[in-house]
A and B are shown apart, each in its own frame.
Chain A
Amino acid sequence: MATETSGATLESDDTARQERIKQLKRGARSFAQNRLSVVGLLMVLTLVFAAIFAPFIAPYPEDAGAGVNFDRANEPPSIDHPMGTDTTGRDILSRILFGSRLSLMMGAVVLTIAISIGVTLGLIAGYLGGWVNTVIMRVTDIFLAIPPTLLAMAVVAATGASLVNVMIAIAFSWWSWYARLVQGEVLSIKEDEFIESSRALGSSWLRTTFKEILPNVVSPITVKATLDMGFVILVGAGLSFLGLGAQPPTPTWGAMIAQGRNYVTSYWWIAVFPGLAISFAVLGFNFIGDGLRDVFDVDVN
């Protein structure tokens, strides 16, 4: 009996896998046909490349720190300094390249934490039901109802300005959407026959979760997380613009804009190029997310 069951599962696993591979291929093809998403992918790859190889491709890698070169301060864009230099003579292009590391890391760390919290709470609420579900979902509703920028600002205000605190603060205000999604999914298929039958066959709830429930939420989470990468980078840039993120001389894009803001009347390049970098990064993720949304045909609003 036991062998029969596992045989049957194996066979259905095989067809399921083939079906999934077929779907992936179809998805990849329609993704490739969407020009915007391919452009987005190239943009993000450029960004990742810049982040990894910043020390090698930056023309003045030492300018990522607190270097002072007053003899070449506030130089407009030139061949030597394609994006000009800032008020203490540091090469802006070099600082932007190093800044990509912080932005990408921030997005990745924040979303990893937020998705872990959201998925875990959603699973617990959906499975246990009853008052646990009510409590978790009420809290989720409250978090959904508060603008993330505001909540993150309040948390940073209370905990003090630093890169780690900013990441915790944004993650803390970002998990609710994922919790609601996963809880809804668990509720909607908890009573389905295939879940019941797999449980009747002795499958543990952990196994059911990984085999039956998580695959169903992977596509909306992927789409939402791709779009969120851009938004987290934006919120993070806003907080470091206010001086709440990583402290100087760390080259964050937001802090670079804040420095340049005081010189818009004389040295426009100091504020303009870091902002272009932020827009480039966010646009890249949005292009991909927009394409993925069409591929998976999911609504993430």
Chain B
Amino acid sequence: MSYVDYLVRRALQSVPVIFGLSVLIFFISRVVPGDPVRLALGPEASQQQVEALRAEMGLDQPLPMQYVDWLVGVVQGDWGMSLRTNNNVFSDIVARLPATLELTVLTLFFAVLLAIPFGVVAGTNKDHWQDHVSRITALFGVSMPRFWVAIVLQIIFVVTLGLLPLSGRLSDGVAPPPAVTHLYLVDSLIAGQFGTFVDAVKHLILPVFALGLATLAQVMRLIRSDMIDEQRKDYVLAAQAYGLPNNLIEYKYMLRNAFTSSLTVVGLSFGFLLGNAFLVEIVFAWPGMARYGVNAILYQDFNAIVGVTIVVGVGFVTANFVVDLLYGYLDPRVRMEEE
């Protein structure tokens, strides 16, 4: 199978997941909370009023029809009004998405970047002290709630040491850079505003660390165990027999294979990362989508809840799609298996 075929086939596999997700979200938002018409009109409304509004909102239609109407609206960007902000939910989310993307993508990047050397060192020193240290660090890393790590970091680095800012994306008085990508790190570099860039970096350090620690731990352990699996293989023995330096064998040949099989889990851990971004954003008053979503939940702002769930769900599916594309690119056997 060519890479393009693989790509198309994999994209088609995402369709049922997105479809299922949309049915699930529709079900949760429309069916579970009870009758939205009664909620809107209150207990005093007459039967006539109720039926009139029901017809107006299309709620007298059978559920599958309602679902289709809703889906068409969603695709066209009509995500309804937010009860809290009185804006279209779609534009609300678009305004907040870049902040969340900047935080989560940067976190994933650094978590994986650091996990690779740590995982290799632990894996190639199995049952030595490096491995034990990595094992215990990783277990601590996945066991501490990320929102609590965030608070502890604030207490240490902000309250006690005064080294970093407490919250937000930029300091008071620092204007956001001219919007191009809406990612402050990128935009400030484009505009050549290095002061703003440094300020944005300072604001990112603690959130990225709090959010990434557990992901780093997970990926590091995976790379370790995959490195151990690789060590048992014949090609490693052959390379050693040829007298190739260990570093070359480890980082060039074994790591490529070990990293490939760890990749799928990186995609999955992005889901946990997104879920936890909700909590970490709250702690750092990060003006992202997660905070918007949490407020929506607290204020029972249904359109906003549905909107956020869709965006995060699609983000998660996309991340896994990208991971699988990389996987198929790095490991041709994955493409062949499906033939």
Contact A158 B33 (CB under 8 A): yes
Chain B neighbourhood of A278, CB < 8 A: 144-145, 148
CB contact list, B121-163 vs A, under 8 A: 135-136, 139-140, 142-145, 147-148, 151-152, 154-155, 159
Contact A265 B159 (CB under 8 A): yes
Chain B neighbourhood of A182, CB < 8 A: none
The smallest C-beta distance from A158 to any residue of chain B, in angstroms, reads 4
Please report the C-alpha to C-alpha distance between residue A177 and residue B286 in the assembled complex, in whole angstroms: 33
Chain A neighbourhood of B140, CB < 8 A: 279, 283
Considering residues B17, B144, B145, B316, which has the most beta carbons from chain A within 10 angstroms of its beta carbon?
B145
Please report the C-alpha to C-alpha distance between residue A205 and residue B297 in the assembled complex, in whole angstroms: 46
Chain B neighbourhood of A272, CB < 8 A: 151-152, 155
| Residue B317 interfacial (CB < 8 Å) | yes
Chain B neighbourhood of A155, CB < 8 A: 28, 32
Contact B21 A157 (CB under 8 A): no
Please report the C-alpha to C-alpha distance between residue A72 and residue B222 in the assembled complex, in whole angstroms: 48
Kindly report which residue of chain A lies nearest to residue B301, judged by CB atoms: A157
Please report the C-alpha to C-alpha distance between residue A187 and residue B86 in the assembled complex, in whole angstroms: 52
Please report the C-alpha to C-alpha distance between residue A151 and residue B297 in the assembled complex, in whole angstroms: 12
| Residue A244 interfacial (CB < 8 Å) | yes
Contact A241 B279 (CB under 8 A): yes
Contact A147 B139 (CB under 8 A): no
Contact B316 A147 (CB under 8 A): yes
The smallest C-beta distance from A34 to any residue of chain B, in angstroms, reads 11
CB contact list, B48-67 vs A, under 8 A: none
Chain B neighbourhood of A2, CB < 8 A: none
Say which residue of A156, A235, A254, A290 sits within 8 Å of B139 (CB atoms). Answer: A290
Known interface pairs A147-B271, A149-B272, A268-B155; A230-B143 also in contact (CB < 8 Å): yes
Classify the secondary structure of A's interface with B.
helix
Chain A neighbourhood of B152, CB < 8 A: 272, 275
Contact B21 A279 (CB under 8 A): no
Chain A neighbourhood of B28, CB < 8 A: 154-155, 158
Considering residues B154, B275, B296, which has the most beta carbons from chain A within 10 angstroms of its beta carbon?
B275
Contact A145 B148 (CB under 8 A): no
Kindly report which residue of chain B lies nearest to residue A274, judged by CB atoms: B148
Chain B neighbourhood of A242, CB < 8 A: 278-279, 282, 294, 297-298
Given A36-B139, A271-B155, 10 further pairs, Cβ under 8 A: A142-B16, A149-B272, A149-B278, A155-B32, A230-B143, A234-B145, A261-B283, A268-B159, A278-B145, A279-B140
Residues of B within 8 A of A (CB): 16-17, 20-21, 24-25, 28-29, 32-33, 135-136, 139-140, 142-145, 147-148, 151-152, 154-155, 159, 222, 265, 271-272, 274-276, 278-279, 282-283, 293-294, 296-298, 300, 302, 305, 309, 312-313, 316-317, 320
Residues of A within 8 A of B (CB): 36, 138-139, 141-142, 145-151, 153-159, 230, 234-235, 237-238, 241-244, 254, 257, 260-261, 264-265, 268, 271-272, 274-275, 278-279, 282-283, 286-287, 290, 301
A-B residue pairs in contact (CB < 8 Å), sample of 24: A141-B20, A146-B271, A146-B313, A147-B312, A147-B316, A149-B275, A153-B278, A153-B293, A154-B25, A155-B28, A158-B28, A158-B29, A158-B32, A158-B302, A237-B145, A238-B278, A242-B278, A242-B297, A242-B298, A257-B148, A272-B155, A275-B151, A275-B152, A278-B144
